[in-house]
Amino acid sequence: MVAAALYMLLGRTGVNMTDKKLTSEEEQVILHKGTELPFSGKYYSFNENGTYVCKRCGTALFLSSAKFDSGCGWPSFDAELPGAVKHRVDADGLRTEISCASCGAHLGHVFIGEGFTAQNTRHCVNSISMNFVPADEKKTETAVFASGCFWGTQYFLQQAQGVLTTTVGFAGGPTANPTYEEVSSGASGHAEAVQVVFDPDQISYEELAKLFFETHDFTEVDRQGPDIGSQYRSEIFYKNEEQRQTAEKLSGILNAKGFKVATRLSRAGPFWPSEDYHQNYYQKSGSLPYCHVYRKIF
């Protein structure tokens, strides 16, 4: 799983830094869409744990866990933080430019299908467009939810502001290192689940749990839509007493509203990540969930 990382609050809390004075070199890249020389940027061979943020406004862009060495001469990332980066066809009509979604600062370009990592994506970013914020272990928490096909669960959870990373996998059964085929057979005892690393300064566990309930049918037992079996059950795997109490409170509210909540509450045990081809499925396929839909309940 990824190293814990700190979200830079500037740019996420209404603080505008777009009037920050840039050097002439920074202006050339950030404002005029230039490119720094390959192998010259300070973050090319930089491997500390933390968060890369926009030089111009401070918005968090990439986690250090997404950084890899592509050998191209510029920092490379195979994933961006949800909603942080804007994509558009470059002026040359051939490449896809990436820019800060908050202030429009030019970052670089993104390339798909090169096969460097399982994400099959390379964000090629100018070091001069970014600053780095070291990781702060106290700034992140972890939650684990199961609500049917983990593709759909991940799709909604990863879009919430304050969610740093999501990983699809398996939880709740005795089988160690299960494969997708073992879980699909129903014999492993595991549920398809999603592990979420989030910044509690940006989003609370209760807000995540509400989103969990509002994006699946929590009244169904051992199924979700057309997917049938115990591996598709609704279950919250709480990490501590506070999470358990929050889950119980929300379940009580739903029962009081007339719903018959079937969601199980279990203490979290080992979480086993699924195979790479299942990670970020809907981001890679460009399609939409077939058995998850958002509905406002709380």
Q: How far apart are the C-alpha atoms of 143 and 250, rounded to whole Å?
A: 15
Instruction: Return the structure tokens found at 40.
Output: 């010259």
Let me know how long the chain is: 298
Q: Indicate the residue type of 245.
A: Q
Structure tokens at 171: 């939880």
276 within 8 A of 284, measured Cβ to Cβ: no
CA 222, chain centre distance (Å): 26
Tokens for 123, please give them.
């964000």
CB atoms within 10 A of CB 238: 20
Alpha carbons 249 and 3: distance in angstroms, whole number: 30
Vertex 238 angle, CA 235 and 240, to 5°: 170
Phi, psi (degrees; rounded to nearest 5) at 152:
-70, -40
Catalytic residues: 124, 149
How far is Cα 218 from Cα 215, in angstroms, rounded to an integer? Answer: 9
